[in-house]
């Protein structure tokens, strides 16, 4: 690790030095974010590693999916089991996919049996912005936030009336249709979005053995979102937001049958925000989410897994002692509904959290603590401390340390013993939560429309849950257990710039993600990845190109030469044209060089594709 740390420090200094040559212009306040501290603050002032993707960027680039959009962001690697709509996994800083918490308008979304969320069904047309927080965040959000948090904010209304219609067609018989209506008057805001996506897809497993289904594996998604907010007094507000996606993707199950997976994700929140006094705001939130998956693998075999989550939270934000105090209580209920009976199908988590953040001259400080009382395994307390020092107007050095955990899934704990010809599987009710301690050290440079950031991180995860064979047990039996530890160490380098009609975003990631006991590299994590996006605005035209690269990976642990997947580089391009005031043409071209590559051993990925859409949005 000494060699890695030395190289990381040298790269960080090089990135910072090159950034100084870009200095131009005065400070830019930037967007207001909430995910980094659960309180509104300027993105440039956060002490965490946070990235924001706004609505304008999503529309300009014409991305076809959330997974595709995330794959080109710093610190994130993704895998998919085939083409559009296939099961996707997101690894933030090398952590497991279940170590990333997904929030939609503040509400937890995901499966309590599988342990992660179906990001592949979230429609970008319903998204206002995305905030990506990299690093341990259980002191703010509780279980699951070991690697980071992805928060989706659905579309919101603006004053006036803004209808829009979008129609698109592309490769692999892809088509998309969406309509939206948003607006507002005085203190009322509203937004409605509905759409449909469909593609014939690709053959997900072209190398499958004889007797399998060799046709294309398609995907379709029907979605709706809605939001409304009403200001009651000068600072008070009541609001609701809804998101629903009903999707189906075909897959190859090694049988001559059109196997498919139905996925449905729903999220709903209602909030009441009140100004209780000078500098004191109270926010009461009720949330509800469901995620259901129905699998039909053959004419005679099917299964269904569903999760329902209900949330009540009451948060208070108080201006105090030169900063802002956070005090909150949360009550979360998680309930599973499956085609196979579990011994336990419900758990309750009661949580209390405190936080304080402020600035004193050149000093920035953020402190958070949270206690979660889980009805399955008892209490868990996590905390974090972050400090930043603004040693020059454009330069800040910052560091943090934080603990995190992930509760075992219902599958891990209570999966009923089931046997096939290859052996048996069973859950383990004696499991302990996975635990992590994350440390970061970074330097940030910002001047006008230019910024650069270098962050070194070191995350140690204990009691990782894996399904392993029980020694000496007949028949062969796999059971979940706290059987390993992991060490995740890396360096993130990122920079953005905007000048003279150009926008540039670049990132380079170095990652060493290993099993701490065997020193094997964790499955499907590359040691290095990089991305470069360049965009040019010319009157009515926006022209953009993206380069996304990733190093070699191993498909499984233990690592063998036969399971190694080579690195790859993908070149994408997009064009955005405004022929008239109310019309826009959006075109995107992915994998222009028709690169063949794998994200999961044995599963295909799309070749060169094109998608063109026309958007009508009268102003």
What's the pLDDT at 15? 41
What's the pLDDT at 24? 39
Q: What percent of the chain has pLDDT over 90?
A: 83
Tokens 């072209």 correspond to what residue? 206
Helix (H) or strand (E) run with residue 436 in it: strand 434-447
For residues 462-480, one letter each, b for 16 or more C-beta atoms within 10 angstroms of the residue's C-beta and e for the rest, the string is bbbbebeeeeeeeeebbbb
Q: Is 256 exposed, middle or buried (0-12, 13-18, 19+ CB in 10 A)?
A: exposed
pLDDT of residue 254 exceeding 80? no
**Lowest-pLDDT range of 94-98, 208-212, 310-314, 430-434:** 208-212
Which CATH superfamily is 2-616 part of?
TonB-dependent receptor, beta-barrel domain (2.40.170.20)
Residue 4's SS3 state is helix
pLDDT in tens, 564-591: 999 999 999 999 999 999 999 999 999 9
Phi, psi of 479 (to 5 degrees): -135, 145
Encoded tokens for 265: 């994700």
Phi, psi of 316 (to 5 degrees): -125, 130
pLDDT of residue 19 exceeding 50? no
> Tell me, what DSSP letter sits at residue 415?
P
Measured from the Cβ of residue 347, the count of other Cβ atoms closer than 10 Å reads 18
How high does pLDDT run on average in the chain?
Answer: 92
User: In the structure, what pLDDT confidence band is assigned to residue 301 with cuts at 50, 70 and 90?
Assistant: confident
What's the pLDDT at 85? 93
Identify which of 534, 537, 618, 545 has the alpha carbon closest to the alpha carbon of residue 577. 537
Mean pLDDT of 193-202: 96
Tokens 């470069």 correspond to what residue? 532
User: In the structure, what pLDDT confidence band is assigned to residue 201 with cuts at 50, 70 and 90?
Assistant: very high
- CA-CA distance, 98 to 466, in Å (whole number)? 12
pLDDT of residue 8 exceeding 70? no
pLDDT of residue 14 exceeding 60? no
User: In the structure, what pLDDT confidence band is assigned to residue 246 with cuts at 50, 70 and 90?
Assistant: very high
Q: In the chain, where are the structural domains located?
A: 2-616
What's the pLDDT at 258? 86
**Lowest-pLDDT range of 48-57, 184-193, 293-302, 352-361:** 293-302
Tell me the three-class secondary structure of 192-252, residue by residue.
EEEEEEEEEEECCCCCCCCCCCCCCEEEEEEEEEEEEEEECCCCCEEEEEEEEEEEEEECC
CA distances 121 to 571, 596, 603, Å, are 24, 25, 19
What's the pLDDT at 29? 55
Tokens 């400090």 correspond to what residue? 387
Tokens 């892809």 correspond to what residue? 174
What's the pLDDT at 209? 67
User: In the structure, what pLDDT confidence band is assigned to residue 108 with cuts at 50, 70 and 90?
Assistant: very high
CA distances 619 to 84, 125, 165, 209, 554, Å, are 33, 18, 13, 55, 51
What's the pLDDT at 211? 60
- CA-CA distance, 613 to 124, in Å (whole number)? 14
The answer to whether the beta carbons of residues 188 and 230 sit under 8 Å apart is yes
The answer to whether the beta carbons of residues 452 and 494 sit under 8 Å apart is yes
Strand partners, 181: 163, 192
The answer to whether the beta carbons of residues 609 and 595 sit under 8 Å apart is no
- CA-CA distance, 506 to 494, in Å (whole number)? 6
**Lowest-pLDDT range of 156-170, 182-196, 420-434:** 420-434
Mean pLDDT of 264-274: 97
Write down the pTM of the prediction: 0.93
- CA-CA distance, 307 to 305, in Å (whole number)? 7
Identify which of 516, 513, 548, 517 has the alpha carbon closest to the alpha carbon of residue 527. 513
pLDDT in tens, 584-598: 999 999 999 999 999
Helix (H) or strand (E) run with residue 55 in it: helix 55-61
pLDDT of residue 238 exceeding 90? yes
235 compared with 69, residue with greater pLDDT = 69
pLDDT of residue 378 exceeding 60? yes
pLDDT of residue 170 exceeding 70? yes
What's the pLDDT at 253? 80
Q: What percent of the chain has pLDDT over 70?
A: 95
Encoded tokens for 566: 């080579």
Alpha-carbon dihedral sign for residues 559, 565, 567, 571? negative
The answer to whether the beta carbons of residues 182 and 162 sit under 8 Å apart is yes
Phi, psi of 527 (to 5 degrees): -70, -25
User: In the structure, what pLDDT confidence band is assigned to residue 412 with cuts at 50, 70 and 90?
Assistant: very high
Residue 99's SS3 state is helix
pLDDT of residue 285 exceeding 70? yes
The answer to whether the beta carbons of residues 119 and 98 sit under 8 Å apart is no
Encoded tokens for 44: 């440039």
**Lowest-pLDDT range of 222-226, 333-337, 338-342, 538-542:** 338-342
pLDDT in tens, 449-495: 999 999 999 999 999 999 988 888 888 899 999 989 999 999 999 99
Encoded tokens for 14: 């090089």
């Amino acid at each position: 690790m000494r060699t890695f740390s030395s190289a990381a420090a040298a790269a960080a200094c090089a990135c910072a030095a090159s950034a100084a040559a870009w200095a131009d212009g005065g400070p830019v306040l930037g967007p207001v974010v909430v995910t980094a501290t659960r309180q509104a603050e300027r993105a440039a002032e956060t002490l965490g590693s946070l990235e924001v993707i706004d609505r304008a960027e999503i529309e300009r680039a014409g991305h076809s999916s959330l997974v595709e959009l995330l794959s080109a962001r710093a610190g994130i690697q993704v895998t998919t089991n085939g083409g559009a709509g296939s099961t996707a996994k997101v690894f933030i800083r090398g952590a497991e996919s279940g170590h990333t918490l997904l929030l939609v308008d503040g509400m937890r979304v995901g499966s309590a049996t599988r342990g992660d969320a179906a990001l592949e069904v979230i429609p970008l047309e319903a998204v206002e912005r995305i905030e990506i927080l990299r690093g341990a965040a259980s002191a703010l959000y509780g279980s699951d936030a070991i690697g980071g948090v992805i928060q989706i904010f659905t579309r919101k209304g603006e004053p006036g009336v803004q209808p829009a219609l979008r129609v698109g067609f592309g490769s692999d018989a892809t088509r998309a249709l969406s309509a939206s209506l948003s607006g507002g008057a005085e203190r009322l805001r509203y937004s409605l979005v509905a759409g449909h996506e469909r593609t014939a897809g690709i053959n997900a497993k072209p190398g499958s053995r004889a007797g399998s289904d060799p046709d294309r594996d398609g995907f379709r998604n029907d979605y709706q979102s809605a939001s409304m907010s009403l200001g009651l007094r000068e600072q008070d507000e009541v609001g609701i937001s809804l998101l629903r996606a009903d999707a189906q993707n075909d897959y190859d199950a090694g049988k001559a049958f059109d196997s498919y997976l139905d996925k449905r994700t729903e999220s709903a929140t209602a909030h009441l925000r009140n100004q209780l006094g000078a500098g004191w705001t109270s926010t009461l939130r009720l949330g509800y989410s469901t995620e259901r998956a129905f699998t039909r693998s053959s004419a005679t075999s099917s299964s269904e897994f569903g999760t329902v989550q209900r949330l009540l939270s009451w948060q208070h934000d108080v201006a105090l002692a030169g900063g802002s105090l956070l005090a909150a209580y949360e009550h979360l209920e998680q309930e599973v509904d499956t085609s196979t009976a579990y011994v336990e199908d419900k758990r309750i988590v009661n949580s209390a959290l405190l936080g304080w953040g402020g600035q004193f001259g050149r000093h920035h400080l953020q402190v958070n603590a949270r206690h979660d009382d889980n009805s399955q395994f008892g209490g868990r307390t996590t905390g974090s401390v972050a400090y930043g020092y603004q040693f020059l107007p454009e330069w800040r050095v910052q560091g943090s340390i934080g603990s995190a955990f992930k509760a075992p899934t219902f599958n891990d704990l209570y999966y009923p013993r089931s046997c096939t010809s290859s052996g048996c599987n069973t859950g383990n009710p004696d499991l302990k939560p996975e635990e992590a301690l994350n440390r970061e050290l970074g330097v940030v440079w910002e001047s006008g429309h230019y910024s650069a950031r270098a962050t070194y991180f070191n995350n140690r995860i204990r009691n990782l849950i894996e399904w392993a064979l029980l020694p000496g047990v007949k028949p062969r039996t796999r059971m979940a257990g706290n059987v390993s530890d992991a060490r995740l160490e890396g360096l993130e380098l990122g920079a953005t710039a905007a000048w003279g009609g150009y926008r540039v975003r670049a990132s380079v990631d170095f990652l060493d993600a290993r099993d701490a006991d065997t020193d094997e590299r964790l499955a499907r994590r590359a040691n290095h990845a990089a991305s470069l996006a360049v965009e040019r605005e010319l009157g009515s035209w926006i022209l953009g190109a993206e380069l996304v690269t990733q190093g070699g990976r191993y498909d499984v642990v233990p690592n063998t030469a036969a399971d190694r997947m080579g690195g790859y580089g993908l070149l994408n391009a997009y064009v955005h044209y405004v022929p008239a005031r109310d019309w826009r043409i959006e075109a995107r071209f992915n994998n222009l060089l028709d690169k063949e590559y794998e994200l999961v051993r044995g599963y295909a990925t799309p070749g060169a594709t094109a998608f063109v859409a026309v958007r009508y949005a009268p102003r």
